[in-house]
Structure 1
Amino acid sequence: MAPQRFREQFDHIQRSMPDVPLAMGPDDSAAFLYEKGVVLVRDGEDARLVEDTVRTFFTEAPGLDQEQVRRVSPQTNRTGVTRIRVADPGQGGAQGDPAVAHALRAMREREGRARRPLVSRNHVIHIAPVNACPGDEPVPAPRTEGTNPAPAAAAHDPESAVSVLVIDTGLMHDYRSWPQLAHVDGDLAVQETDANGMLKQYVGHGTFIAGVVSSVAPNTDVTVLGTLSDVGAMLESEFGAALFESVDRYGWPDIISLSAGTTTSSGLDGLLGMDAFMAELREQRTLLVAAAGNNGSATPFWPAAYASRPDHADSVLSVGALRSDGEFGACFTNHGPWVKVYAPGERLTSALTGFDSPVPYVYQHSTFDTCRYGFGYACTCQEPSHSGVLSDESVAAKPDQVMFEGLAHWSGTSFATPVVAGMVADLMAAGGQRDPRAAARQLLAGIAEFAEVRGAHVPALRPPTWSAVPVVVPAPAV
């Protein structure tokens, strides 16, 4: 059932990026999205080597056109990568791109078993997908319910506040109507609603994350950037450059909270488009707290999986999600030894919109009859039940609609990530610690409680103001 959701989101993302033909791949498993007809390669001699190798391979392979091989972005930039066109992006369907696959094969044969490939697909970086979407869609919550985690008691002090840069979608225009966001700044969403006045699918994601950080760690200066626009997606080749632009604009913060990423082509150890940024990050004092992704898989999800590389073990902290009781992993969370810590990420409550302008939302995806990952509790795959416009043509004329007036429940490693970012920031502010990486080490070293994720006992962080919600296990059918 998970591939169904992936295909629904593929269509949504493709419509939001009409000038970039996309494919899903590497085959019918639909593990990630990437740009059709193009491969990504390191600049300089590596780029020339790839061009020559692919041309030779295409000359000898039937049905492939070596005349189409050419650079389409030859300019050198800080990311150190170039896009090379290997086929007409307009050819073929969305179910994989054979020309790109052949180009990668040519280089694999040329490179042998090189640890760091010279070439890769140009993946789509997206808001921590459940096969390309958050753990669920948001559900309205009454204002009287308050946030979960609830606001901590600490006060904001401009002299000692910890700087947190959230790289995500932009803020809602009236976000400051919620007092907890008084010390949040950044980019406003470019377009909050569609032509019919409905809240767009990912608008509010960055606002929700800022609310989680501010609740866990009030003594923070949070800046939310609209790097991922209002659709939550960007090509890898552009994302690396956007990260550099972010730190050029605001300086290197104490903490970067990033709830986006992608799985990659088999065997890739990282993202070519992010290599240069990750190398510079290693030399800074900034801690990158990154979402592990929501594919219910052990497949590494980048950039969170950089936490498993020895050269980035100190600079990257990868975060998985616990279900609402905090005792077990959420059904959707990615897992494995590359995920360093887990935190509550199911049905958290935060600000989705401001309080000044109620806005309607139409559900895009239908819930499932059973958990799409095979779990037996009442997870977000099933509850609360609703019908979505992308899932079923029969409900397209009248999908379920709700009204948001501020707070929402939302699930995903997207939101477990700011919980951990906030806990690191809170430890820094409380103890006068100015080194975020040292604070992260201290926080992890002090973990005395664990949770169970896919049969493994894993370190778990639960902020003191977070309230567990009992998990419902449906009675067996008679």
Structure 2
Amino acid sequence: MTRYRHRAGELLVHADDCAALRPALAGFGYHPAGVSGSVHRFTGTRPVPEVLAALGSRGASPNHLFGPDRIIWGDPGMRPKPTHGELTPLSRSDEDPTVGVIDTGILLDRGCPHPYLANRVVFDQEDVVRLERGEDGNPVGSAAHGTFVAGVLLKQVPAEVGVRVRMKGVLDRADGAAEDLAVATAIDELREEGITLINLSFSGATWEDEPPKAIEAALRRLPPETVVVASAGNRSSRRRVYPAAIKFEAARPREVDQNHAWVIAVGAADSTQDSATPRVADFSNYGPWVSAYAEGVDVLGPYFRLGYPTEPAGFNGYAVWSGTSFSAAIVTGKIAAGLAKAGSARAAAEAVLRPLGVAKPPTVCVQDVNGPDHVSYVAGVREPGV
């Protein structure tokens, strides 16, 4: 069975299965505790794995937890690092939000977002994340992840294009976890706001490799012109992770279904050794379910503002960070940059992943159990010397 994280004492059941499962769940002490779209939450005290094992494959699943895998508490080589690089602050824009980012939320300092972002990030009070500090006074946890993702995304957009980000804060600032239902609710809210391009820079394993119920249901509710870009995870594994691996009625790998939102799974590429021949980053997940690769090693973006963290860390308001989170942000930014010209997010995504008029579109060669495969590579903006 796949290792996964979940909320203790919570099970999710689709509305179509509630009538059949309610008596069995009641027998285990689980009772209805709310509805999100077509998914019902049941709560109880018996351990979730024990209940699921007894039920078998009868329609209930955990309330899964997802997060920015490994890049905060795992491999020290993947944590944010100080840099001398900086970015010119963005110009202001009065355009409506173009792209939705579901993440930790936006970090404020003295009431304002990072100066690089100008007013390009739109958020509500509940989308603001507070700074957590350790005993040495330095920030800990995932607070800056959403700010960094938004910055990497916007960095791909020409200055004259008025792209703005609608931030939805759902990842826990301390442990980086986001539950299935919270993500689904944020997707629904972005849909209601008319946003058709969404970035999900988090991932996780699920019960017996099945898609998470609430997120999958929310993605099904999106109009078919919507594009969702999701990070493929940082476990150096072929195993599928979600939400990136959610696909709708695709007959072949990477085939695009026109009747549902297009979910683009993005892995990390490494071009630091040879910019002409990018390869799959050592930490990136891979496999036929990954739609594209983008730069994911030592990506520059806005981090804690000047003076945070304290010495000797030496951050200057920016950092370089590695992970598929930022590869996904690069792809989302490239799509956002072309959205107005293309007319729809789907058309813009096609232009980014399958450019017309290019004799030899850039690819990453993936060595897999089925032999070599050439997958679309999306080059991000790189600053000299970074």
SS in 1 for 2:62: strand
Alignment CA distance shift 1:190-1:314 (3 Å): closer
Structure 1: how far apart are the matches of 2:73 and 2:114? Answer: 31
Q: Work out which of the residue numbers 224, 227, 236 in structure 1 matches 2:170.
A: 227
1:107 counterpart residue number: 55
Please report how far the alpha carbon of residue 261 of structure 1 lies from its aligned counterpart in structure 2 after TM superposition: 2.5
CA shift, 1:440, in A, is: 0.8
Partner of 1:118: 59
Q: Which position in structure 2 is the counterpart of 1:71?
A: 31
> Which blocks of at least 5 consecutive residues in structure 1 are unaligned?
1-25, 56-65, 88-98, 112-116, 362-400, 471-478
Task: Give 2:218's match in structure 1, choosing from 271, 277, 285.
Answer: 277
Task: State how 1:30-41 maps to structure 2 within 5 Å.
Answer: 31-41=3-13
Taking structure 1 as the reference length, what is the TM-score of the superposition?
A: 0.66
| 3-state SS of paired residue (1:303) | coil
Q: Give, in whole Å, the separation in 2 of the partners of 1:262 and 1:273.
A: 14
Deviation at 1:428, TM superposition (A): 2.4
Q: How does 1:48-87 map to 2 (within 5 A)?
A: 48-53=19-24, 66=27, 68-73=28-33, 75-85=34-44, 87=46
1:303 to 243, 247, 262: 243
Matching residue within 188, 191, 200 for 2:130: 191
RMSD over aligned CA atoms reads 3.2
- Residue equivalent to 1:451: 364
Matched, 1:416 2:363: no
Compute the displacement of 1:107 (Å): 3.2
**Which amino acid in the other structure matches residue 339 of structure 1?**
V
1:287 alignment counterpart: 227
Residue 403 of structure 1 aligns with which residue?
A: 314
| Matched residue, 2:253 | none
Aligned length: 358
Q: Is the strand fraction higher in 1 or 2? A: 2
Residue type matched to 1:336 in 2?
Answer: G
TM-score (norm 2): 0.81
Contact 2:107/2:130 (<8 A) preserved: no
Identity rate of aligned residues, in percent? Answer: 26
The one-letter amino acid paired with 1:191 is R
Matching residue within 68, 72, 90 for 1:127? 68
Report how far residue 264 of structure 1 moved.
Answer: 1.0
Partner SS for 2:7: strand
Residue matched to 1:14: none
Which sections of structure 2, spanning at least 5 residues, go unmatched? 251-256
Shift of residue 313, structure 1, vs aligned partner:
7.0
Structure 1 range deviating more: 174-183 or 201-210:
174-183
Q: Distance in 2 between matches of 1:462 and 1:274?
A: 26
Structure-2 change in CA distance of 1:344 and 1:469 (3 Å): farther
The aligned counterpart of 1:436 is 345
1:358–1:131 Cα change, 3 Å: closer
Q: What is the rounded CA distance, in whole Å, between the counterparts of 1:313 and 1:336 in structure 2?
A: 22
SS of aligned partner of 2:65: strand
Change over 3 Å in CA distance of 1:468–1:412 after alignment to 2: farther
Q: Deviations over 1:258-302 (max 9, x none)?
A: 10121112241x111223311111x25321111111121111111
